[in-house]
A and B are shown apart, each in its own frame.
Chain A
């Protein structure tokens, strides 16, 4: 049972914005300030999209943004495109210097 809960699926039409939530259900994540997000297309390795809650690595589209309110972190994808259809995982650093992944969310572009 993961310490991070995500919705199983989220969908949207091209051009729309969608938001994926990631709720911490355990105090193991501490202040929850080290949340990262990963995109995974079928049959591919995951790709880092957001780090430290809000920061985008070089090369990641600015259509992807991260935020946090209390125990819930969120990934927003604006201007949804067909290639955004993938699985998305949140991940948090814990007080034991380990990492824990969220349950994963399948994004469907209608």
Chain B
């Protein structure tokens, strides 16, 4: 059974960075893309980017290209997302999600979410 377990909630000051991790189990980690999606309080879903856990290749949404980095450590089946220069409007729930076997086109399984709060 596929499980994506994310790291715990974070509180950061404006200008700081945050790194959220996503540990996968129940499938071959390198065989499926990992996406990151965020949701501000009371708002909709916003796609941030994906990483290919096999090659490490990434593709970021234009809105995040200059301040997000997605990495992976295949030896421990874990993906990470780092967001830099945090602002108050980065306060959101951050989700990792696993693609299906159909490439990057859909998000088959989701982590439980990590709440990141940015406040001075």
List residues 39-67 of chain A with CB under 8 A from any CB of chain B: 40, 45-48, 51-52, 57
With A36-B105, A57-B108 known as contacts, the answer to whether A45 contacts B95 (CB < 8 A) is: yes
| Contact yes or no, B47 A45, CB < 8 A | no
Tally of contact residues, A, Cβ under 8 A: 25
| Contact yes or no, A36 B106, CB < 8 A | yes
1/0 contact trace for A60-100 toward B, CB 8 Å? 00000000000000000000000000010101010011111
CA distance A45 to B45 in the complex (A): 10
| Contact yes or no, B45 A38, CB < 8 A | yes
**Minimum CB distance partner of A96 in chain B:** B59
For B45, give its contact among A52, A57, A104 (CB under 8 Å): A104
Interface class of chain B by DSSP:
strand
With A100-B47, A104-B44 known as contacts, the answer to whether A48 contacts B59 (CB < 8 A) is: no
CA distance A36 to B108 in the complex (A): 10
Report B-chain residues with C-beta under 8 Å of the C-beta of A46. 37, 45, 95, 97, 107, 110
- B16 interface hit (Cβ, 8 Å): no
Other contacts beyond A51-B105, A52-B105: 6, CB < 8 A: A48-B107, A87-B44, A98-B61, A101-B45, A101-B46, A104-B44
Q: Which 10 A-B pairs have the closest CB atoms?
A: A45-B110, A104-B44, A36-B106, A34-B105, A101-B45, A51-B106, A99-B47, A93-B105, A89-B45, A97-B59
A-B contact pairs, 5 of them (CB 8 A): A45-B110, A45-B113, A48-B106, A52-B106, A98-B59
